[in-house]
């Protein structure tokens, strides 16, 4: 089946530094990828939609200069959290749209802790 | 404003019985609904979906019912098994290449 590999699974970084999270589609081409964030005991919130070769579309309230998304190829999308602060600590999950079935497949998530 | 609502934060069901998880939505543009199972620090696992042109979809022990007039859907799991214990998320999409709008989840606990 369609698999999305997300790395790293967890990362701890110092406040002010940047962190890059990678999301790769292993056995299919992902034209559209999504990035979600989940705070403890909360829902998964859509942050942005990225289409290969074009700029990402950000949801209201999500700072595009802080959360840089690059989708340069059909198999790789990256999310970079720039100048991270403790309030950015969260669980980040990527997802790819499955064109054939109309469904979605998710990565395993990245637990980001900013200290 | 929550467009997808799961009003029960938790649900406890005895093993072998039916588990019924409920979900309500407010956006009439949603036309595709999905249920996911999730464990802490893991990505969601797809369970079952339903298009707005249907009112029922069944896959093994899982059945999803959609009542468009009430903007309500439910997931039935029967018989419930201990491995079903997890957080279940209801999600909705407006179709096309839209991302998903998730509910807050319901923690299902299957008791032996």
pLDDT in tens, B23-48: 999 999 999 999 999 998 899 999 99
What's the confidence (pLDDT) of residue A58?
96
Mean predicted confidence (pLDDT) in B44-56: 94
Give buried/exposed letters for A73-102 (b at 16+ CB in 10 A, else e): eebbbbbebeebeeebbbbbbbbbbbeeee
Give kind and range of the element (H or E) at residue A37.
Answer: strand A32-38
Residue A52, pLDDT above cutoff 90: no
Interchain contact A111–B (C-beta under 8 A):
yes
Range with lowest mean pLDDT among A53-62, A82-91, B83-92, B100-109: A53-62
What's the confidence (pLDDT) of residue A54?
85
- The SS3 call for residue A82 is coil
Residue A21, pLDDT above cutoff 70: yes
Interchain contact A80–B (C-beta under 8 A):
no
Judge whether B102 and A45 are in contact, CB under 8 Å: yes
Query: Which two structure tokens, joined as six digits, stand for B68?
Result: 């468009």
What's the confidence (pLDDT) of residue B96?
65
Judge whether A82 and A68 are in contact, CB under 8 Å: yes
Of A43, A97, A108, the CB nearest to B43: A108
Query: Which two structure tokens, joined as six digits, stand for A65?
Result: 């200069």
User: CB–CB of B43 and A51 under 8 A?
Assistant: no
Interchain contact A93–B (C-beta under 8 A):
yes
What's the confidence (pLDDT) of residue A106?
94
What is the bridge-based pairing of β-strands A110-114 and A10-13? parallel
pLDDT for B66-105, tens place per residue?
999 999 999 999 999 999 999 999 999 986 678 999 999 9
CA dihedral for A40, B23, B87, B112, sign (positive or negative): positive
Euclidean distance between CA atoms B57 and B66, whole angstroms:
9
Residue A53, pLDDT above cutoff 90: no
């Amino acid at each position: 089946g369609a698999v999305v590999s997300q790395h790293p699974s967890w990362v701890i970084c110092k406040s002010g530094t940047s962190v890059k999270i990678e999301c790769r589609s292993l056995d299919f081409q992902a034209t559209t990828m999504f990035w979600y964030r989940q705070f403890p005991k909360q829902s998964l919130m859509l942050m942005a939609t990225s289409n290969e070769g074009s700029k990402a579309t950000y949801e209201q309230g999500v700072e595009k200069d802080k959360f840089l998304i690059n989708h340069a190829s059909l198999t790789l999308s990256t999310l970079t959290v720039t100048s991270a602060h403790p309030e950015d600590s969260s669980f980040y999950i990527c997802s790819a749209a499955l064109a054939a079935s109309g469904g979605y497949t998710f990565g395993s998530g990245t637990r980001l802790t900013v200290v | 404003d929550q467009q997808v609502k799961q009003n029960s934060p938790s649900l406890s069901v005895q093993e072998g019985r039916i588990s019924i998880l409920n979900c309500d939505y407010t956006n009439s543009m949603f036309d595709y609904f999905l249920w996911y199972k999730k464990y802490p620090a893991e990505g969601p696992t797809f369970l079952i979906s339903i298009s707005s042109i249907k009112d029922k979809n069944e896959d093994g022990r899982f059945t999803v019912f959609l009542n468009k007039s009430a903007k309500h859907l439910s997931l039935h799991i029967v018989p419930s098994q201990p491995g079903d214990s997890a957080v279940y998320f209801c999600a909705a999409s407006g179709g096309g290449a839209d991302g998903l709008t998730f509910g807050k989840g319901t923690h299902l606990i299957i008791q032996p």
